[in-house]
């Protein structure tokens, strides 16, 4: 028998101690909480960042066997995200339904649920017809010592010289007159990724949403590093983005690098990364490495990142649960405790 406990500021010291112990036993190379206080502050910062953010522990016989957090992935589509990390072979129908019921209890109206889970429990979800597999993502790490930055900069310079009609510039703050073009290119590239879930365009709301999201991100002391490539007509043809989290500055996160279709095959991805890696490791000298996530079946970007020295740390799979299934779980009793 298991129980689900919410982790909050009011949780007892013993619960926080167990939670931190579980974190230390299961953390990856780039998890950056160096001690108990940093860990607790980081979790509380996530919870307090939004009224829609919650964190939970799954406990069996006084031992933590899993954790999950919940947040709104997409407000327009009323899409709830449940991000889980559960020990291998521990999840079952009752636990899965209990997690969903507990997560949905905080929200009045949920149209769908994105269920993120570690690869160790993939067999359970694949055999469960309630869930539709959306994507599989590899979480990767490039250690500073594994990167030949000098050679990479040389290669980037050669690519620059071959494309005299293109200009690479810092683009941390998107100018208002370029915002819609940037958003349009971002969505085109996102929807062009193999098997990625299509993103809907919400006219002016999308541009406004980008501005709000980035503003909220930086408000908490995080940093954005972005470069873009423009053609001779001052059109955006490529961009790359890094997120530097306040609580994990030693491992900046490589966000999307995207190139317009007609400009692919020119090496622009390497050119962008060579400039950005150089800036990261020189300006942020405390950087130990770079993290990224990429679709497991996107062989093109997989090969590029592998050539740069990235290696896989873990794999995360995303499943979709529709409203009919959610409502069925909500209205039927499950053996949920606390």
> 40-95, pLDDT tens digit by residue?
988 998 898 788 999 999 999 899 999 999 998 877 778 899 998 888 888 888 89
Q: Is the pLDDT of residue 271 over 90?
A: yes
In a domain, 336, yes or no: no
Which residues is 224 bridged to in the sheet?
243
Residue 17: CB atoms within 10 A of its CB come to 12
Q: Is the pLDDT of residue 32 over 70?
A: no
In a domain, 16, yes or no: yes
Confidence of residue 337 (pLDDT cuts 50, 70, 90): very low
Question: What are the tens digits of pLDDT across the range 139-193?
Answer: 999 988 888 888 999 999 999 999 999 999 988 788 888 888 888 888 888 777 7
Q: What is the pLDDT of residue 128?
A: 74
Q: Are residues 177 and 132 in the same domain?
A: no
- Between the ranges 15-29, 112-126, 209-223, where is the mean pLDDT highest? 15-29
User: Which of 98-102, 177-181, 213-217 shows the lowest mean pLDDT across its residues?
Assistant: 213-217
The residue segments making up the domain with residue 46 are: 2-137+318-331
Q: What is the pLDDT of residue 201?
A: 46
Rg (CA), the chain: 21
Residue 80 zone, left/alpha/beta (φ > 0; ψ -120 to 50; rest): beta
Task: Give percent above pLDDT 70 in the chain.
Answer: 92
Q: Are residues 80 and 29 in the same domain?
A: yes
Q: Specify the higher pLDDT residue, 31 or 329.
A: 329
Q: Is the pLDDT of residue 257 over 70?
A: yes
Question: What are the tens digits of pLDDT across the range 184-204?
Answer: 888 888 777 765 555 554 444
φ, ψ of residue 292 in degrees (nearest 5)? -155, 165
Q: Are residues 263 and 185 in the same domain?
A: yes
Average pLDDT of the chain to the nearest whole number: 84
Instruction: Output the CA torsion sign for 196, 200, 201, 202.
Output: negative
Question: CATH number of the domain that 264 lies in?
Answer: 3.40.630.30
In a domain, 142, yes or no: no
Q: What is the pLDDT of residue 237?
A: 95
In a domain, 236, yes or no: yes
Q: Which of 279, 288, 293, 271 is nearest to 158 (CA)?
A: 271
Q: Are residues 153 and 301 in the same domain?
A: yes
Instruction: Output the CA torsion sign for 71, 74, 78, 84.
Output: negative
Q: Are residues 220 and 323 in the same domain?
A: no
In a domain, 338, yes or no: no
Structure tokens at 301: 């970007």
Q: Is the pLDDT of residue 336 over 50?
A: no
Q: Are residues 21 and 132 in the same domain?
A: yes
Q: Which of 232, 214, 308 is nearest to 269 (CA)?
A: 308
Q: Specify the higher pLDDT residue, 135 or 207.
A: 135
How far apart are alpha carbons 98 and 2 in whole angstroms?
Answer: 10
User: Which of 25-34, 99-108, 222-231 shows the lowest mean pLDDT across its residues?
Assistant: 25-34
Q: Are residues 247 and 174 in the same domain?
A: yes
Q: How many angstroms separate the Cα of 32 from the Cα of each of 192, 247, 313?
A: 33, 7, 15
Number of domains in the chain: 2
Residue 303: CB atoms within 10 A of its CB come to 10
User: Which of 82-86, 249-253, 280-284 shows the lowest mean pLDDT across its residues?
Assistant: 280-284
In a domain, 291, yes or no: yes
In a domain, 241, yes or no: yes
Q: What is the pLDDT of residue 232?
A: 96
Q: Are residues 156 and 272 in the same domain?
A: yes
Q: Are residues 304 and 322 in the same domain?
A: no
Q: Are residues 225 and 87 in the same domain?
A: no
Q: What is the pLDDT of residue 4?
A: 94
Q: Is the pLDDT of residue 127 over 70?
A: yes
Q: Are residues 61 and 203 in the same domain?
A: no
How far apart are alpha carbons 309 and 4 in whole angstroms?
Answer: 40
Q: Are residues 166 and 226 in the same domain?
A: yes
In a domain, 313, yes or no: no
Confidence of residue 115 (pLDDT cuts 50, 70, 90): confident
Structure tokens at 69: 């957090």
User: How remote is the C-alpha of 88 from its chain's centroid?
Assistant: 22
């Amino acid at each position: 028998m298991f129980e689900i406990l919410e982790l909050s500021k009011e949780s007892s010291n013993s619960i926080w101690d167990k939670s931190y112990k579980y974190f230390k036993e299961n953390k990856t190379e780039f998890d950056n909480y160096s001690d108990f206080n940093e860990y607790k502050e980081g979790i509380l910062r996530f919870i307090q960042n939004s009224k829609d953010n919650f964190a939970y522990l799954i406990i069996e016989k006084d031992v933590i066997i899993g954790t999950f957090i919940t947040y709104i992935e997409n407000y327009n589509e009323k899409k709830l995200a449940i991000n889980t990390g559960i020990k291998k072979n521990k999840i079952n129908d009752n636990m899965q339904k209990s997690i969903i019921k507990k997560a949905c209890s905080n929200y009045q109206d949920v149209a769908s649920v994105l269920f993120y889970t570690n690869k160790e429990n993939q067999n359970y979800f694949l055999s469960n017809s309630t869930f539709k597999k959306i994507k599989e993502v590899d979480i990767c790490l490039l250690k500073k010592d594994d990167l030949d930055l000098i050679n990479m900069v040389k290669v980037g310079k050669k690519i620059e010289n071959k494309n005299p009609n293109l200009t690479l510039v810092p683009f941390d703050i998107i100018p208002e007159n370029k915002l819609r073009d940037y958003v349009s290119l971002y969505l085109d590239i996102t929807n062009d990724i193999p098997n990625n879930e299509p993103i809907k365009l919400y006219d002016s709301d999308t541009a406004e949403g980008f501005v709000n999201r980035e503003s909220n991100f930086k408000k908490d002391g995080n940093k954005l590093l972005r470069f873009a490539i423009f053609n001779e007509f001052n059109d955006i043809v490529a961009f790359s983005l890094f997120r530097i989290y306040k609580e994990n500055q030693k491992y900046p996160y490589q966000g999307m690098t995207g190139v317009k279709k007609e400009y692919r095959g020119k090496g622009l991805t390497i050119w962008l990364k060579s400039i950005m890696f150089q800036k990261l490791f020189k300006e942020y000298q405390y950087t130990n490495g770079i993290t990224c996530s990429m679709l497991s079946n996107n062989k093109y970007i997989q090969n590029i990142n592998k050539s740069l020295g990235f290696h896989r740390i873990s794999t995360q799979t995303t499943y979709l649960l529709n409203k009919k299934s959610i409502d069925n779980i909500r209205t039927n009793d499950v053996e949920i405790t606390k």
